Amino acid sequence: MKVHIHVSLKPGVLDPQGRAIHHELEALGFSGVNDVRAGKLIELDVADGTSDDDLDQMCRKLLANMVIENYRIEKLEPKRENA
Amino acid sequence: MGFRSAVITFPGSNCDRDMAVALEQVSGSAPIRVWHGDADLPDRLDFIALPGGFSYGDYLRSGAMAARSPITKAVVEAAGKGVPVLGVCNGFQVLTESGLLPGALMRNASQNFVCRDVPLKVENNQSLFTAGYEAGETIHIPVAHHDGNFFADEETLDRIEGQGRVAFRYLDTVNGSRRDIAGVLNEAGNVLGMMPHPERAIEETHGGSDGRALFENAVKGLVRA
C-alpha cells in the first residue's frame, strides 16, 4: 500500500524557505502570490493492513517534529494493474 | 579518581575531536570515545558531550536520526539519573529532537549558514555549566550552523524563561532565534544545549578563550561533588 505523508510547518511558525521561494516567484514576474509555505512529502510503501495507528505513530515518532510541524496521512488507491 | 567523561560520535559528527581535546585539556583525563553503534554507555560517567557536526547528513531534520539511535536512548536515561549532558550545535539539535530539551532548531531566518564569533549574554550563572561566569557577563563564542533558529511556542518560552532556563542569549542578530535564545537548560539543570561552540574557544590561539570557563566549572563542580 502506498501512503503519502504530507509534513508542513504549523501555522505561525516562520518559514524562511517559503519566504525565499515567494520572493523568487515575484522576482520572476509572477504577481498575485499571497504566501508560500514549503513542506515535505514522504512516500511510504507499507504492508497491506498496516494500521492507521501505526502510520500515526510513524509520523509522531519520527517523520514529523510535533513542536513545529503538522502531518497529514494520505492513503493512495491501489493501481489496477490488469484492468 | 579522575574526571570520567564520554564524547558520542555519530556518522557525520565533525566536532567530536575538538570536544575531546577541550575536555582533556581542562580535566587532565581523556574522554572515552563512544560510537553511535555502541549499545551502552560506559558506566560511572561524570559528563557526556554530544558534539557538533551533521549527524546522518542532517537527513529528515537536523539531529532527527541521531536522536533515535540506541546510544541516544542511553544518554536520555543517564540524563534522567542526573549525569550532566552538554550538547553543542548538532548536539543541541539532537537534544531537542530527543525531547530532553524543549523547542526545535529550524533553518536560520536568513537562510544562510552563519560562521563567526558572536557575543552572548550569560543569563543564568547558577548551573554547573555556567557558574564560572558572572550573571549578565558578555562572552564571545564562535557559531557555525545552518539550523540554529530556536523555536518554541510562547507558552513554552515563558515557562523556560520563568524557570531561569535560558543559559545564554545572543546579543546580536544571528539566526532568528525566538527571544535570541542561544542555550537552554533542562528543568533539573543537568542538561545544556547551545548552538555556539565553547570547545572552539578554550585557548587564546583559537582567537578567544571564553568557552574555557564552561568546561572548567563543570570539571571543578563534578570533581568536588
ipTM of this complex: 0.85
Closest CA of chain B from A48, distance in Å = 25
CB contact under 8 A, B68 and A17: no
Q: What is the pLDDT at residue A82?
A: 57
Q: Which of B145, B150, B144, B141 is nearest to B199 (CA)?
A: B141
Average pLDDT of chain A to the nearest whole number: 92
Does the pLDDT value for residue A83 go beyond 90? no
Please give the Cα distance from B61 to B183 (Å, whole number): 19
> Which entry of B36, B145, B146, B197 is annotated as an active-site residue?
B197
Annotation marks residue B134 as catalytic: no
**Domain coordinates of chain A in residue numbers?**
2-75
Q: Which amino acid is at B37?
A: G
Q: What is the pLDDT at residue B2?
A: 84
Q: What is the pLDDT at residue A12?
A: 87
Residue percentage of chain A with pLDDT more than 70:
94
Q: What is the pLDDT at residue B153?
A: 95
Grade residue A80 by pLDDT with cuts at 50, 70 and 90.
low
Spatial strand order in the sheet of A2-9: A40-45, A2-9, A69-75
> Which entry of B36, B89, B97, B206 is annotated as an active-site residue?
B89
CATH fold of the domain at A2-75: Mth169; Chain: A , (3.30.1280)
pLDDT in tens, A14-38: 898 899 999 999 999 999 999 999 9
Q: What is the pLDDT at residue B225?
A: 46
Q: What is the pLDDT at residue A79?
A: 67
State the 10-residue block means of pLDDT for chain B, 225 residues long.
Answer: 92 97 96 92 96 96 95 96 97 98 95 96 96 97 97 97 98 96 98 98 95 95 65
Q: Which of B177, B64, B196 is nearest to B117 (CA)?
A: B196
Annotation marks residue B89 as catalytic: yes
Residue of chain B whose alpha carbon sits nearest to that of A17: B111
CB contact under 8 A, B176 and A16: yes
Please state the pTM of the whole predicted model.
0.93
Which residue among A61, A63, A68 places its CB closest to the CB of B151?
Answer: A68
Using CB atoms and an 8 Å cut-off, which of residues 22-81 of chain A contact chain B? 61-63, 65, 67-68
Domain total of chain B: 1
Q: The CATH number of the domain where B38 resides is what?
A: 3.40.50.880
Spatial strand order in the sheet of B114-122: B32-35, B5-9, B47-50, B85-88, B191-194, B181-185, B166-170, B114-122, B138-145
Grade residue A81 by pLDDT with cuts at 50, 70 and 90.
low
Which residue among B104, B111, B151 places its CB closest to the CB of A17?
Answer: B111
Please tell me the number of Cα atoms within 13 Å of B32 on its side-chain side: 17
CB contact under 8 A, A13 and B106: yes
**CB-based burial of residue B144 (10 Å sphere; 0-12 exposed, 13-18 middle, 19+ buried)?**
middle
Structural domain range at position B135: 5-224
